[in-house]
Chains A and B, each alone.
Chain A
Amino acid sequence: MTVYIQRHSLFKRVIHGVHMVATLILLVSGAVVFIPALGRAVGPEVVQMFRISHRVFAVVFIVAPLYGLIAAPKGFVHIVKNLFAPWDADDKRFMVLFAKYLFTPKTTHMPKQHEVKSGQRLADALLIFAAVLIAVTGVVLWAGAFVSADVFRIALFLHDVAFFLIACIMVVHVYLGAGVWQPYRGLARLMLGNGRVTVEEARYHWGHWAEVELASGKNVIEE
């Protein structure tokens, strides 16, 4: 028998999945315009097709989290609370050790963590900031015919800055979140599978949170 803790609901996983697909398509379709050599290589018809798909998936990118917010406001508040949770000594120590941990996981012992690791809180905050920035500036660019050249110029620059941030964060996000990195193996199913972790995994990754969950028993599943 294995004991699991349900970490993410089906609703959260579906919103994450839809957003993930939209983000990946936006990154690729955006790159075709962002890198002139790429656009010139594929030609105007293909670029135009990518631009249209960029707009379609931009709507998905904006609407999916907004729908999540409206349909599950409590979940949204929970995410925000976690994001701004005060840092304790373990959180700070986690950040101090993280770089060493990335390269020497076999010998680095990481401190216990709460529901969201301190490093992930930072990454999430940056990702949310970049996502909002890219969405807002994207809307301005879409309305390009109605804004002045200067507003368009600034929106385009900030859109590119956000693209830079998201592209870089995504590499780390996929490496850790999809469990490419050996200590994080198996964690992909948190968002892309059934949303559960075994108690051992939970204790290793989020020690404080695991104890809270086991004590409450609300999300504990035995199979």
Chain B
Amino acid sequence: MTESAILYDSSKCSACKGCQVQCKQWNMLPSSLTKDDYEFTGSYQSMSDLNGDTRLLMEFREEDAPEGIEWAFSRRACYHCAEPACLEVCPVGAISKLENGTVKLDSSKCVGCKYCTVACPFDVPKYRENFSVTNKCTMCDDRVEQGREPACVQTCPAGAMTFGSRDEMVSEGEARVAELKAAGFDKAELYGVTEMGGMHSLFVAKYGYEAHGLIRDPKASDVSGLMSLLKPLTGLGVAAMIGGLGVSFLASMGYEREGMNVKSKPKDDAAKEAK
């Protein structure tokens, strides 16, 4: 099966949030029903970050452009990394990589330990409190399986998202970046071609990575690297202790002390001595 990817083009996006709404609808994820539940931050952004019920969030930033200040919109969701840090650490195998590159989190297996959140350099998986599991974009694998596009892609009225074979998406993205550069947006870049081994959610960053809040050269969190060292180290430490003390035990065989009310000699030896 060929690898597929979503291509998001921030230069075409009007930040209408249709994708955000459609993601919730298709995946039956509720929005808060409490009035003013999300603190107003002076931005059009719905909430400050992804959460257990929100797999896709449109982010609003501002950037200096040749014509003055302009919006730098970002689509924040799982990138479906080719080398997903989240997958490695999941203790129950709830995260798997599908043939087309989608990184799927199976909530029926998830035990809600949040190790994946710790490992993901983008803090993407979020804990869904009511269900005690972690939640993230599944690239609508149910739809894709039926030959349909992910819900967010299908709904985008501005045509800012495309879904197709990853190779085609990379070529399309690169061509668009070249167009943008020619139009004077010289910081334009395509995100996801090589990051985390190559992502399956690519991003045309009109104003460059930083302006859109994208992490340059992302890596699995340092802590999760240290933790993956700690695991074998613990095994080694315990084995070394057992080994060392095993030698001590062997070297101490036949130990006897006057006044010791529990004999340490093997029974046979003690019986022989008694004779």
Residues from chain B with Cβ under 8 Å of A103 in the complex: 247-248, 251-252
Q: Which chain B residues in 110-147 approach chain A with CB under 8 Å?
A: 110-111, 113-115, 117-118, 123, 127, 129
User: B262 touching A106 by the CB < 8 A rule?
Assistant: no
Tell me if B183 is interfacial: C-beta within 8 Å of chain A.
no
Contact of B241 among A163, A171, A203 (CB under 8 A): A171
Tell me if B226 is interfacial: C-beta within 8 Å of chain A.
yes
* Chain B residue at smallest Cβ distance from A48: B111
Nearest CB of chain B from residue A205's CB, rounded to whole Å: 11
| Alpha-carbon distance A152/B126, docked complex (angstroms) | 12
| Alpha-carbon distance A195/B264, docked complex (angstroms) | 20
User: A200 touching B258 by the CB < 8 A rule?
Assistant: yes
Tell me if B233 is interfacial: C-beta within 8 Å of chain A.
yes
Tell me if A83 is interfacial: C-beta within 8 Å of chain B.
no
| Among B62-70, B87-95, B151-159, B267-275, the stretch in contact with A | B87-95
User: B91 touching A164 by the CB < 8 A rule?
Assistant: no
Instruction: Give the one of A47, A172, A179 with max B CB within 10 A.
Output: A47
* Chain A residue at smallest Cβ distance from B91: A39
Residues from chain B with Cβ under 8 Å of A56 in the complex: none
Interface string of A96-119 (1 = CB under 8 A from B): 000000111110000000000000
Contact of A105 among B92, B127, B252, B259 (CB under 8 A): B252
Tell me if A17 is interfacial: C-beta within 8 Å of chain B.
no
Nearest CB of chain A from residue B147's CB, rounded to whole Å: 30
Residues from chain A with Cβ under 8 Å of B93 in the complex: 36, 39-40
Tell me if A168 is interfacial: C-beta within 8 Å of chain B.
yes
User: B118 touching A160 by the CB < 8 A rule?
Assistant: no
Nearest CB of chain B from residue A26's CB, rounded to whole Å: 14
* Chain B residue at smallest Cβ distance from A46: B92
Tell me if B257 is interfacial: C-beta within 8 Å of chain A.
yes
Binding site for A on B (CB under 8 A): 88-94, 108-111, 113-115, 117-118, 123, 127, 129, 221, 223-224, 226-227, 230-231, 233-234, 237-238, 241-242, 245, 247-249, 251-255, 257-264
Q: List 27 A-B contacts (CB under 8 A).
A: A36-B88, A36-B89, A39-B91, A39-B93, A44-B111, A47-B111, A102-B248, A104-B251, A105-B255, A106-B252, A106-B254, A106-B255, A145-B129, A152-B118, A156-B118, A160-B230, A164-B234, A167-B238, A168-B234, A168-B241, A171-B242, A172-B245, A180-B249, A181-B245, A182-B252, A183-B255, A185-B262
- List the 9 closest A-B pairs by CB distance, nearest first: A200-B259, A39-B91, A186-B262, A182-B264, A182-B255, A171-B241, A185-B262, A182-B252, A40-B93
